[in-house]
Amino acid sequence: MQSSSSWLADYFERVWFMNPTLAAVLSVILGVGICMALIPIIPGFGSYLERKVCADLQQRIGPNRAGFLPFGIMQAVADGIKTIQKEDLIPEHADRFLFKSAPYICIIGVFSCFAVIPFSGAGPLSALNLGVYYILSISSLMAVGIVLAGWASNSKWTLLGGIRSAGQMISYEIPIALSVVTVAMVAGTLNMSGLTAAQRLGWNIGFWNSNIFVTLSFPVYWIAALAECNRTPFDIPEAESELVAGYFTEYSGLRFSFFAMAEYAEMFVVSAMAVVLYFGGFYLPFEGIMPWIMDLSGGRLTLIHFSVFLGKVWALMYLMIWIRWTLPRYRIDQLMDLCWKALIPIAFVNFMGAACWMALLG
- pLDDT category at 5 given cuts 50, 70, 90 is low
Compare 80 and 350 and report the one with higher pLDDT: 350
pLDDT digits (tens, 9 = 90+) for 326-346: 888 888 888 899 999 999 999
Residues in contact with 47: Cβ distance below 8 Å, sequence separation at least 6, in sequence order: 75, 76, 79, 260, 264
* Structure confidence by residue, pLDDT tens digits, 141-190: 888 888 888 888 888 878 887 888 878 888 999 999 999 999 999 888 89
Return the ∠ at Cα 174 (arms to 209 and 150), rounded to 5°. 145
pTM beyond 0.95: the answer is: no
Q: How many whole angstroms from its chain centre is CA 22? A: 32
| Torsion, CA 264, CA 265, CA 271, CA 276, rounded to 10 | 170
Write the pLDDT tens digit of every residue in 200-255: 776 555 454 567 888 889 999 999 999 988 887 887 766 666 656 677 778 888 88
Long-range contacts of 149-153 (CB under 8 A, 24+ apart): 149/99, 149/102, 149/103, 149/106, 149/247, 149/248, 149/251, 149/259, 150/246, 150/247, 151/95, 151/98, 152/94, 152/95, 152/98, 152/99, 152/102, 153/91, 153/94, 153/99, 153/247, 153/249, 153/250, 153/251
Cα(218)–Cα(225) distance, rounded to whole angstroms? 10
What is the band of 121 on the pLDDT scale with cuts at 50, 70, 90?
A: confident
Q: Is the pLDDT of residue 357 over 60?
A: yes
Q: 147 with 162: CB under 8 angstroms? A: yes
